[in-house]
Structure 1
Amino acid sequence: MTYHTILAVYATQADVTPVTTAIADFAAGTEVHLIGCHGEPSQFVVLSAPIDVPDAATIAALYEQADTRMREVGDAFDKACDLAGLSHEWRPVRSPGGDSAISALASARTADLVVVRQPNRDAGEDIATNVEALLFEGGRPVLFLPSDGKLASPIKRILIAWDGSRESARATQDALPLLKAAEAVNIVVVDPDKLPDIDAPLAGTDIASCLSRHGIHVNITTVSKGTGSTAEAIASQVAATNSDLVVMGAYTHQRLREWLFGGVTRAFLENSPVPVLMSR
């Protein structure tokens, strides 16, 4: 375990207990310093009719509400960390948009790992943080927890979604501390004959050899998505191997700078039953 500085991004107070508890269990027995970050808007603009002048009373109320939210999340963070015995510090940040992920970028770049909880859509939650910014601008691996915050402790079984790309290579290297500690590591390659960076007959063997030199024994599985999606094929392997964690690259369209959220990245961020470590 070599993740000594961990950044947790708390979009709302509901994130604090599940995320902090998961990190405490994950880091048990190691020296970890946890940085908690929450963002609120640095400015509000409210115009009153009919002459479109700033509404001072409403703006003051919005600032007060933001201060209250910041204080409540910070107090909950300190309490949860004290209870777990974690070394910690609180970094409340104000930014023009108030997005917690945007506010956390500077801290992310000096951390070993970033942790975020996926929203519980059944409870009406939505993504309240700009995860694209964390993945593509933070420069560090991001561990996305399921909405319930559950993370196996210890993490025994890991599945690597491998396609030979720069992104999957980065994610695999970033996950080395976890891979070394795992009892079982499986590599899945979906439709290797259709991947430009894969030699289909030898799919996954090069990265398996690399990992073996770190003392990590892996099993390689190649599958076809058939009439389904790549995400469904990977999810099927997650279930078949009873994996505790998925390691995969995060992808964007280089020309348009848009998410390929219609594909694997979106599917796993929105509906993954297990934690996912992503890198870019």
Structure 2
Amino acid sequence: MSFKTIAAILQGEQEFQRVLDCAIPLASRLEAHLVGIHAEVLPVPYTAAAGFPDTDFIQVSTELNKEATLKLRGTFHERVEDAGLSFEWRTLESFSGDGTLAGLPNVRAADLIVAAQRDVESDDGTDVESLVYDAGRPVLMVPHSGPILSSFRRVLLAWNGSREAARATFDALPLLIEADQTDILIIDPPESSDDTPDAAGSRIAASLGRHGVSVGVSVRNSQGQSVETLIQDRLAASGADLLVLGAYSHSWLRELLFGGVTRSILRSAPVTVFLSR
């Protein structure tokens, strides 16, 4: 299995370039078809003082949005043509201007979605949380700062035995096979008659090994530290350039109200993150 259709969510200019810096070389290496998805903002109806819609405002807003979209489309075509890729461009319309919400029917036909991490200091950018939760496809999230990679040498796989972790692991298999090393991180493994803490992760490690993945297992006790802190610490210590994570093992509502590992990682991960649920 490989990724043969890659959907790239392309919004603002800075985010646009970072996503393409990952998606184009990835699609080129995998000989994949690249779909660029951009949402054009529909102008919110504005009422003038006389009580009638301000048609001049709507017209100017529409023209500015189309001008920005044409510029992005031109850059996309130029870059993918230079790379010799099979590609297409899809312009969508949305009051939110977010390609996530408008593009869900399109991305569900892709093997992989590439999107940019939202900068916590800005309200702009792709709603990656909704994308991961609703798309039904794996998402490769490019960090909002730092180097952009399309191939990964050292992978950190967060494993807790959940359905979501299993889904993410095997969705990411093409990248794990390419990597030099995959470190399976297990935090606070439960003690049971079937699996002692020392043997935790042995089954998934063996399964990945049969695919030719070079695997190691690390078991950590939290001792009061949060899971996300331990993941971040392990990322730094191992030098991993990709984190594979099963998203929303708890309900999205619970994470929205109380926080959780997925939401924390989406906002603060310093490296590329591969997510599935």
Work out whether the TM-score is over 0.5.
yes
Counterpart of 1:22, as a letter, is C
Q: Is the 8 A contact 2:246 2:276 kept in 1?
A: yes
Counterpart of 1:262, as a letter, is G
Pair 210,108 (structure 1): closer, same or farther in 2 beyond 3 Å: same
SS state of the match for residue 104, structure 1? Answer: helix
Equivalent of 1:145 in 131, 142, 146: 142
Partner of 1:231: 228
Counterpart of 2:68, as a letter, is R
Equivalent of 1:218 in 198, 215, 218: 215
Match status 1:273 vs 2:270: yes
Alpha-carbon distance, 1:80 to partner: 2.0
Q: Is the 8 A contact 1:109 1:139 kept in 2?
A: yes
SS state of the match for residue 232, structure 1? Answer: helix
* Large movers: runs of 4+ above 4 Å: none
CA RMSD between the two structures? 2.5
1:97-176 aligned at under 5 Å gives the runs 97-121=96-120, 124-148=121-145, 150-176=147-173
Equivalent of 1:259 in 253, 256, 264: 256
Partner of 1:94: 93
Counterpart of 2:186, as a letter, is V
Tell me which moved more, 91-100 or 145-154. 145-154
Pair 16,98 (structure 1): closer, same or farther in 2 beyond 3 Å: closer
SS state of the match for residue 18, structure 2? Answer: helix
Q: Is the 8 A contact 2:140 2:272 kept in 1?
A: yes
Q: Is the 8 A contact 1:163 1:192 kept in 2?
A: yes
1:34-49 aligned at under 5 Å gives the runs 34-42=34-42, 44-49=44-49
Alpha-carbon distance, 1:30 to partner: 3.2
Q: Is the 8 A contact 2:154 2:180 kept in 1?
A: yes
Give aligned pairs, total.
Answer: 276
Q: Is the 8 A contact 1:21 1:80 kept in 2?
A: no
Alpha-carbon distance, 1:191 to partner: 1.5
* Unmatched 5+ stretches in structure 1: none
1:142-190 deviation digits (Å, cap 9, x = unpaired): 0001113734353111110011111111100100101111111110011
Alpha-carbon distance, 1:71 to partner: 1.3
Match status 1:74 vs 2:67: no
Alpha-carbon distance, 1:94 to partner: 0.7
1-side partners of 2:262 and 2:130: how far apart? Answer: 14
Counterpart of 1:9, as a letter, is I
Counterpart of 1:161, as a letter, is A
Q: Is the 8 A contact 1:13 1:72 kept in 2?
A: no
Normalising to structure 2: TM-score of the pair?
Answer: 0.89
Pair 80,255 (structure 1): closer, same or farther in 2 beyond 3 Å: closer
Alpha-carbon distance, 1:85 to partner: 2.9
Alpha-carbon distance, 1:220 to partner: 0.8
2-side partners of 1:205 and 1:260: how far apart? Answer: 34
Counterpart of 1:33, as a letter, is H
Alpha-carbon distance, 1:104 to partner: 1.8
